[in-house]
Structure 1
Amino acid sequence: MGSLDTVSIAILLGAVLVMAGILSSLLALRFGAPLLLVFLVLGMLAGEAGPGGLKFDDLSTTYLVGSVALALILFDGGLRTRFSTIKAVLAPSMGLATVGVLLTALITAPVAYYALDLNWTEALLAGAVIASTDAAAVFLLVHSQGLRLRPRVGATLEVESGTNDPFAVFLTLMLVGLITRGESSTWYVVVEFLWEALLGTAIGVIGGRMVVMALNRVALPQGLHAPFVATAALVVFGAAQISHASGFLAVYLAGMIIGNQPTRAHNSVVAFLDAATWLAQIVMFVLLGLLVSPQRLMSSIGPAVVVALALMLVARPVAVFLCLAPFRFNWRERLFIAWVGLRGAVAIFLASIPMLVGLPKAYLYFDVAFVVVIISLLLQGWTLGPAARKLHVALQRTDRGPRRIELDLPGQLEKQLVGYPVRAKSLYLKRGLIPSWSKPTLVIRDERILTPEEAEPVAPGDYLYLLAPPEKAEALDRFFVDMPPSTAPDPHLLGDFIVPGETTLGDLAAAYGVNVPTGEEALTLADYFDIHLDRAPTVGAEVKLDTIVLVARSLGGGRVNVVGLRLPEDEDDAPPPTRVQKARRKLSKVWSQLSGV
């Protein structure tokens, strides 16, 4: 009976932990990644040195759970990554994910060599274990602190965090093999790396396409799509690992393939993976707490703090500045990317590998990873928001967004039903704006279902449902939040071919002789951007209007308030000189009227 009671207690404790993880997601948006430290402390309290007295030293289970957790985290990261995002930042992100990880390990190694009394190979292994950033921790913090990063900065961090883990795993395994087997040639390391990368890429791409095909062709019962995709991700990961390819690269690429293709139940899959990755992080931090020995940690905490500070203040910044030197990042963007190199579940997983194979001083790597994660989440985590605002790489979100409802429509993959509560100060209600790629379908008012025509005019408190492509659903959010106050553009920015965002299309047509779609003459240029962009406007965003291109030059209150005009370059298409001269006078008059000058 005693053994049965032990099993029952284990089930109870496990269920309580999972429930705590689910409920903690409500606090995650308020406290961010440091909330994960609560689960670290819970693990320590439940461990052998804490009141719980639970003796846990099962390294095989730790490695197994860590592999599954990291595979799901990477798959979720790939699922959310857009091909359009990668194209813009592929070169700098891949540089940070490979050369950056190697440089970080190399710069950290001398500090570990002297501080931890290791040989050079062991010191390099200590650097490799803590060299990669943690995507889940980075974006949990960004989201929880209400930050909206500049697109290029956010995309670089996103792609780097998702792709540097496979290289860090490869580097760690290579060094572990080198320590256990002895000398290894450079040629062997290069061939092994290419084999793992190329075969992992092939398995990931093929596996992702097969999952997309199965999702769209097999009639699964409602509710099984998300578990099927998560299980398929682990199948891709396992198939790559037993083929001696990079399973972590394969599962990340499989997620990218699935996330960028139209599939059934896309939103339920994303929501399921979001919850799974949150629980995976919690499990990893609890395991880290269980494995920590406070008595052993006291003997190495001083040198470990030195290594952690060297990593955050020297190794990571130097690697980032060197890798981004060939690209057009300003110093503020580089400094922010260097500071946001948070360490989390990945370091925990990598630190368990030396212990699993029984390397000398294996627990030293684990203790160093423990200290690095603690300091990273406390120091970098709680200063991320102030750093982003101080360095001007992010705008504070004025609204956390409306509560979006998404429903898949059986029988097709191109559209889904997206619903929003209509707010009194929303862009949709005040200006009547809606993107050209969406279609209002029904309105719910006082528990009655109405067509848009029957509900006209739509009133605050109504629920509006629209048809929209799944990949663009999030872009609808900005039409249903309360409009922030608009910021007036700087008159000194306005010239011959730069106009205020409140200029109407009719005025622009009169000035430049361009054709405006029928019925849109009263729209402002800011409205035109909102309607025709499939995402929130950013500086540099472009939309075409007849023969000219409108370029967003400045934003105010989340909307375009200064617009640049790119005129036709061909002489046959260009407006006559006399028309341009007239345009200058008319636009000057328009701006004077708008600014009250």
Structure 2
Amino acid sequence: MTTLYLLMLIGGCLVALGLVAGLYSSRLGFSHLLVFLCVGMLAGVDGPLGLPFDDYKLAFGVGNLALALILLDGGLRTPAKTLRAGLLPASLLATVGVALTSAIAGAAAMWALDLDWRHGLLLGAVIASTDAAAVFAQLGGDRAALPHRLSATIEVESGLNDPMAVFLVLSLIALIKAPDSGGADLLALFAHHAGWGAAIGLGAGLLLAWGLHRLPLDEHRQGLTALLLAAAGLVVFALAGLVDASAFVAVYLFGLVLAQRARRTVRAALPALDGYTWLAQAGLFLLLGLLVTPHDLLRLAGPALAVAAALMLVARPLAVVLCLAPLRFPWREQLMVAAVGLRGAVPIVLAVYPVMAGIEGAYRFFDVAFVVVLSSLLLQGPALGALARALGLNGSSKGG
């Protein structure tokens, strides 16, 4: 019991410290998520507390649990008009855009880290997708001030692009471990993952929406409703994973369907569900901060920063232009979408996949992904408000 109490004491103190520090850091434009990462690093092996932690399996499990809740929350908060306005451009960014970003960032990783093409592309895929938690947390209420199609594209893309990144990571791991696997096999795998993930998410969403209308839930039971939604989301996520489908697609679409089909019930539960999502984010980022070893980061700082620069300044902007220019997005909005490509927990969690698969040198991927995320949250996040004002996108063109 003493060990349990100590773990509860340390965990509670770290979460509380991160929350309080985040309240002040947000005034400077820094995300709460960045604060939780830093608190975890300070508590880790190189910090004052010196807590040793290297359990990648635990981080993998907690990461998937947290991402399930984060994506569910994102889907539940997406209204129908946002989905309609942003679906086409967001779908392009979440598929073609992620693939292009992965390829360009992978080429930079090959040069900066002296990797062969398969390992370089794998690292590019790990860091290719934007993170729903980071984007939602950074923009917050400012999303409402952006032009509707722009904010809808940003919001829907951040929830849709994780499955493509997961598919690319798993495919490249399979290619490294079995070089003779063919492209047709990978396409069949993608169709299976995406198709069954979509079917499970849509079907479960319709079923639960039907059930919610028949349950005795009212405005006095928001906490119970939120717990029911969270539990159902985890069931959908787990079920999709058990049949080797895309759990990310399933849980996000599950949330989207519920948001449209059971709007009143979902809306009443969102404040309570927000607490679960924040707890999941806080726990995940603290754990990821504990997992990293800062003195190892210093050895890779130069190459990792080069990869981060290529990602933010070349790969993401080029992918955005190629996807959005044909849809006649103004150049100012293209620039804003490129800048909002924040990285968060997803790349760090995806970096655990190669480690668990036993890929040679995969521990470096985790360190590089961590540097990329830190760079994104430190440099991109605080500049978003000023950039929106400089581009005239902070409300002056709201109907655009």
Mark the CA change 1:50 to 1:19 in structure 2 (over 3 Å): closer, same or farther: closer
**Following the alignment from structure 1 to structure 2, what is the Cα–Cα distance between the partners of residues 229 and 11?**
26
Within 5 Å, which residues of 2 pair with 1:322-361?
322-361=322-361
Residue 110 of structure 2 is aligned to residue 113 of structure 1: yes
Q: Contact between 1:112 and 1:123, CA under 8 Å: does it hold in 2?
A: yes
Q: Contact between 1:284 and 1:348, CA under 8 Å: does it hold in 2?
A: no
Q: Which amino acid aligns with 1:88?
A: A
Q: Show the counterpart of 2:97.
A: 100
Q: Show the counterpart of 2:257.
A: 257
Residue 86 of structure 2 is aligned to residue 85 of structure 1: no
Q: Which amino acid aligns with 1:305?
A: L
1:65-104 deviation digits (Å, cap 9, x = unpaired): 0001111111111111122222223221101000000000
**Following the alignment from structure 2 to structure 1, what is the Cα–Cα distance between the partners of residues 30 and 162?**
19
Q: Show the counterpart of 1:226.
A: 226
Q: Which amino acid aligns with 2:90?
A: S
**Following the alignment from structure 2 to structure 1, what is the Cα–Cα distance between the partners of residues 191 and 21?**
41
Unaligned runs of 5+ in 2: none
Cα offset, 1:25, TM superposition? 6.7
**Equivalent residue of 1:358, what SS?**
coil
Residue 120 of structure 2 is aligned to residue 123 of structure 1: yes
Within 5 Å, which residues of 2 pair with 1:504-515?
none
Cα offset, 1:36, TM superposition? 2.4
Residue 209 of structure 2 is aligned to residue 212 of structure 1: yes
Q: Show the counterpart of 1:167.
A: 164
Mark the CA change 1:163 to 1:28 in structure 2 (over 3 Å): closer, same or farther: farther
**Equivalent residue of 2:145, what SS?**
strand
Unaligned runs of 5+ in 1: 397-536, 541-597
Q: Following TM superposition, where does structure 1 have runs of at least 4 consecutive aligned residues deviating by more than 4 angstroms?
A: 20-29, 144-147
Mark the CA change 1:133 to 1:50 in structure 2 (over 3 Å): closer, same or farther: same
Aligned length: 397
Q: Show the counterpart of 1:383.
A: 383
Within 5 Å, which residues of 2 pair with 1:226-305?
226-262=226-262, 265-305=265-305
Q: Contact between 1:29 and 1:145, CA under 8 Å: does it hold in 2?
A: no
Q: Show the counterpart of 1:520.
A: none
Q: Show the counterpart of 2:66.
A: 69
Q: Show the counterpart of 2:399.
A: 539
Q: Show the counterpart of 1:475.
A: none
Q: Contact between 1:138 and 1:340, CA under 8 Å: does it hold in 2?
A: yes
**Following the alignment from structure 2 to structure 1, what is the Cα–Cα distance between the partners of residues 168 and 398?**
38
CA RMSD of aligned residues (A): 2.1
More strand by share: 1
Within 5 Å, which residues of 2 pair with 1:414-563?
539=399
1:370-396 deviation digits (Å, cap 9, x = unpaired): 111111111111111111111112228
**Following the alignment from structure 1 to structure 2, what is the Cα–Cα distance between the partners of residues 345 and 214?**
33
**Following the alignment from structure 1 to structure 2, what is the Cα–Cα distance between the partners of residues 88 and 45?**
42
**Following the alignment from structure 2 to structure 1, what is the Cα–Cα distance between the partners of residues 150 and 25?**
23
**Following the alignment from structure 1 to structure 2, what is the Cα–Cα distance between the partners of residues 539 and 49?**
50
TM-score, structure 2 normalization: 0.94
**Following the alignment from structure 2 to structure 1, what is the Cα–Cα distance between the partners of residues 117 and 130?**
23
**Equivalent residue of 1:326, what SS?**
helix
Cα offset, 1:213, TM superposition? 2.3
1:98-135 deviation digits (Å, cap 9, x = unpaired): 00000001111111111111110000011001100112
Cα offset, 1:164, TM superposition? 0.3
Cα offset, 1:20, TM superposition? 4.2
**Following the alignment from structure 2 to structure 1, what is the Cα–Cα distance between the partners of residues 115 and 176?**
12
Q: Which amino acid aligns with 1:276?
A: Y
**Equivalent residue of 2:395, what SS?**
strand
Q: Contact between 2:355 and 2:363, CA under 8 Å: does it hold in 1?
A: yes
Identity of aligned residues (%): 51
Mark the CA change 1:21 to 1:269 in structure 2 (over 3 Å): closer, same or farther: farther
**Following the alignment from structure 2 to structure 1, what is the Cα–Cα distance between the partners of residues 142 and 264?**
32
Cα offset, 1:339, TM superposition? 1.2
Alignment partner for residue 181 of structure 1, among 178, 183, 191? 178
Q: Contact between 2:297 and 2:371, CA under 8 Å: does it hold in 1?
A: no
Report which of the two structures shows the higher radius of gyration computed on alpha carbons: 1
Q: Which amino acid aligns with 1:380?
A: Q
**Following the alignment from structure 2 to structure 1, what is the Cα–Cα distance between the partners of residues 113 and 312?**
17
**Following the alignment from structure 1 to structure 2, what is the Cα–Cα distance between the partners of residues 325 and 280?**
36
Q: Contact between 1:115 and 1:307, CA under 8 Å: does it hold in 2?
A: yes
Which has the higher mean CA deviation after the structures are superposed, 369-378 or 219-228? Answer: 219-228
**Following the alignment from structure 1 to structure 2, what is the Cα–Cα distance between the partners of residues 324 and 35?**
30
Residue 152 of structure 2 is aligned to residue 155 of structure 1: yes
Cα offset, 1:44, TM superposition? 1.3
Mark the CA change 1:264 to 1:235 in structure 2 (over 3 Å): closer, same or farther: same
Mark the CA change 1:108 to 1:65 in structure 2 (over 3 Å): closer, same or farther: same
Cα offset, 1:22, TM superposition? 5.4
**Equivalent residue of 2:161, what SS?**
helix
**Following the alignment from structure 1 to structure 2, what is the Cα–Cα distance between the partners of residues 25 and 112?**
32
Cα offset, 1:272, TM superposition? 2.3
Q: Contact between 1:33 and 1:140, CA under 8 Å: does it hold in 2?
A: no
Cα offset, 1:16, TM superposition? 2.6
Q: Contact between 1:69 and 1:280, CA under 8 Å: does it hold in 2?
A: yes
**Following the alignment from structure 1 to structure 2, what is the Cα–Cα distance between the partners of residues 264 and 389?**
34
Cα offset, 1:157, TM superposition? 0.5
Q: Which amino acid aligns with 1:390?
A: A
1:157-192 deviation digits (Å, cap 9, x = unpaired): 011111001111111111112222333211011111
**Equivalent residue of 2:103, what SS?**
helix
Mark the CA change 1:179 to 1:56 in structure 2 (over 3 Å): closer, same or farther: same
Mark the CA change 1:253 to 1:393 in structure 2 (over 3 Å): closer, same or farther: same
Mark the CA change 1:267 to 1:389 in structure 2 (over 3 Å): closer, same or farther: same
Mark the CA change 1:127 to 1:253 in structure 2 (over 3 Å): closer, same or farther: same
Cα offset, 1:291, TM superposition? 1.3
Mark the CA change 1:236 to 1:343 in structure 2 (over 3 Å): closer, same or farther: same
**Equivalent residue of 2:51, what SS?**
coil
Q: Which amino acid aligns with 2:366?
A: F
**Following the alignment from structure 1 to structure 2, what is the Cα–Cα distance between the partners of residues 87 and 146?**
16
Q: Which amino acid aligns with 1:157?
A: I
Q: Show the counterpart of 1:311.
A: 311
Mark the CA change 1:80 to 1:24 in structure 2 (over 3 Å): closer, same or farther: farther
